[in-house]
Structure 1
Amino acid sequence: MALIHKKDNNVLLAAGDQLISYDLESQADELLRLPEPNLPEKLTKSQLDVLKKEVRKISSIDSHSEKGYTVVATENKQVVVYDKQFQVLKNFIVNRAAGKVCFTPSSDILVADRTGDVYLYKLNEIEAPQLLLGHLSVILDMTLSECGKYIITFSFCLGHSEFVTSIKLVKNILVSASGDGTVRFWNYLKGEQLDIIYTNKYIMDNSLLEVFTRDMDKEKVDVTALPVTDMQVYYDAKKLYVAVSVHNYNALQIHTTDLLSCDLYILSDKFSVFKLIDEEFIETNVPCLEKLYDKYKHILKLNESSAITVLYKRKFDNVQEYLVRKRQRLETK
C-alpha cells in the first residue's frame, strides 16, 4: 500500500522503500531510495535478518514545517531523517519496528513502536532514547498537540468498540475514527465525547456489509459495521470538515460540523485533488499531478490489502482445545 503525505507545497508519496517528493510550485519531482541501515554492533542473527530484508516498506512519514525536515520509518526498524534538500541527516535503527514517527516542535523525533512504547530521540545527539510512555497493545497512530505539551496515542480504546484507525487534533478537539464505523469528537482535556458520526448510515448498499461479514465470519470475528480505514480533517475557523474512507466503499464521505482555502489529496487508482469551494469539496483537474502519477504508477500500484482485518478481536475456545488434549492423554494411557 502507498502512503501520501503533504506539508506546505510539498507532496510525498511512499511505496516500498522508495520515496517520491513533488514540489507543487516548481512541479519538480525526485525519486529517492532509502539508504542502507547503519547496523550497530553485536546484533543477533534474527535481528540481522530483519534489518537486511530486501523489501523495506515505509510505514510512516512526517515533516517539520519550520525546518523542512522529513522523517520516515520502515517496517524493518530503520528510521531516516532528511533535510530540506533530502540529504540524510540521521540514519538509525530502533529496537522494535516503528508504527508511527513524528517531529516535536524542537525537531526531535517521537517513535511509537509495535509493542506499544513511545521513545524520544534527540536529532543531534547519539545518547540512548528516552522512554516516554507505553501501552499494553500496539500503537496504531500518534499525534502531538500544537503546544507540544500533550502526546496523544491510540490503540484499541478511546470509547470505541473496536480498534482506532485514525486521530486528528484540531485546536482542543480530538477527532477519532474506528473499526466500529464511527467518527467521534472529544474534548481530550476533559475526556468527554462531544459528538459522533455513524458513517455506515450513509452507505445505501447493504451488500457491502454482508460480504464483509461473511469474510470475517471465516476469521471467527463478529462485525456490525464497515470500518473507517482513513480520515483527514480541515478547519477554516468556522467549520470542521471531516473526510473519511470506508473499507470496500468506493466513495469518499465528507462531513461538516459547526465548530482558508483547503485542498484534499487522494491517492487511489489515480491522483485526485478536491478543493473546498462554498462549503463543498469539488474535484479539480490538475494536469501536473496526473503526469506525476503516470510517471510513477508502476511504483505506486496499489494492491488489495486486508491488513485492517487483523486488528479485529478474535474469539479463542481455549477450553475445547484443553479437552481435546486431555482426551488424547487419557487414550494413550
Structure 2
Amino acid sequence: MKVAVIGTTGYGGGELIRILYNHPIFRIHSIHSTRDEEPITAEFPHLTGVFEQTLTKADPEVIAEEADLVFLATPSRVSGKLAEAFYGKDIQVVDLSGDLRLQKQGEYEQWYKHEPVNQEVIKEAVYGLSEWNKEQIKNAKLVANPGCYPTATLLGLAPVAAAGLVEPNGIIIDAKSGVSGAGKSLTKGNAFAEMNDNFRIYKVNEHQHIPEIQQQLNLWDEAIAPITFNTHLIPITRGIMATIYVQLKKELATSEVIDLYKEQYHNHPFVRVRNEGQYPSVKEVCGSNYCDIGLNVDQRTGRLTIVSVIDNLMKGAAGQAVQNANIMNGLEEKMGLDFVPIYP
C-alpha cells in the first residue's frame, strides 16, 4: 500500500518514518510539509543513508490520487483543514492531532481555542483507541488517533470503568510526561536549563485532553462525573506515567482486579498487565507500542491505584496510528510494530 505522511518534521512524524520504513505492507510513497521543500535529512540527520526522500508541499488532490493512506502528523488547526480537504476522497486518513476527537459541539473551541472542523467530518471520524474501538476502526475511512495522555489514562481505567465498578465522583489522574510531548518547537518551558533537575506542573485543571478522556469514560459509564486531571513535565525525553486513583463500588482484592484486567486484555498484544506487587516504569516501554499497567487496591480506603505507562511518541502517537491503520486494512495489529523496548 502506498502511504503518504504529512508533517514529518515533528517528533511524531519522525517516528512514523521509523515504523513505516520497515513495515511489510505499507510503503512510504511521499512525505510532505506545510513549510518549504527540503530533504528530510535536513530535519533528521540520523536518516542519512537510510531514508532520504525530499519533503514536498502537501497537496491533498495529488496525494489522494497517488496514495492509499495518509497520516496527518501536523498540529491542531492544520490537521483539521487537511482532514476536510481529504474528506470524501478515496483515501484512508489517520489524524494524530486533536482536531477530530471531540464530538460535542462547542468543546473544541472551549479547550483548543480554535475554529472547529466541519461537524460532518467530525461525525465521520472514529476514535482510534485500538483495544476498545477495534470493530469501528475496521470499517473506518477516517480515524482520530487518541492523544498521548488519554491513551495511557483510558487504557488504565477502561476495565473497571466499563464494568461499572468505579464510584462516579472523585476520579483523579496525576500524569507526567517527558519533554518530547511538547514537540520540537523551542520554548522557555522545555529548554534544558529550565527542565534539567526540575519537575513542573502545567495547564492546571485546563489541559485540552480533559474532555477527550471524559467523553470516552462516559461512553463506558455515563454516570462518571467530571474528572480531576493534571499534567507535569519531567526531565526525560520520552515516556508518560499516569497514576490514577478511583474509589471502587465494592470490596475487591488486588488479585481480583488484576484478574479482571488480564482477562480484558488477554487478546490485546500491546497491553501488558503486571502481576501483584509489580509496577511499571516508563523506561520499560521506551521505543515500543506497549502500555504497561500495574494495580493496587488499598484495603483501608477501598481505593484502586492504577499505574499506566506508555512511550508518548509510540503508543501515544505514531505507534497507535500505525496500529489503527493495520486494523483499518485487515492486517495483523502487530505488523511493523513488534519492537522490543529499548532498555536501559
Structure with the bigger percentage of strand: 1
RCO comparison, higher one (Cα < 8 Å, 6+): 2
Q: Which is richer in helix? A: 2
TM-score, normalisation: structure 1: 0.31
TM-score, scaled to structure 2: 0.30
- Answer with 1 or 2: which has the greater Rg: 1
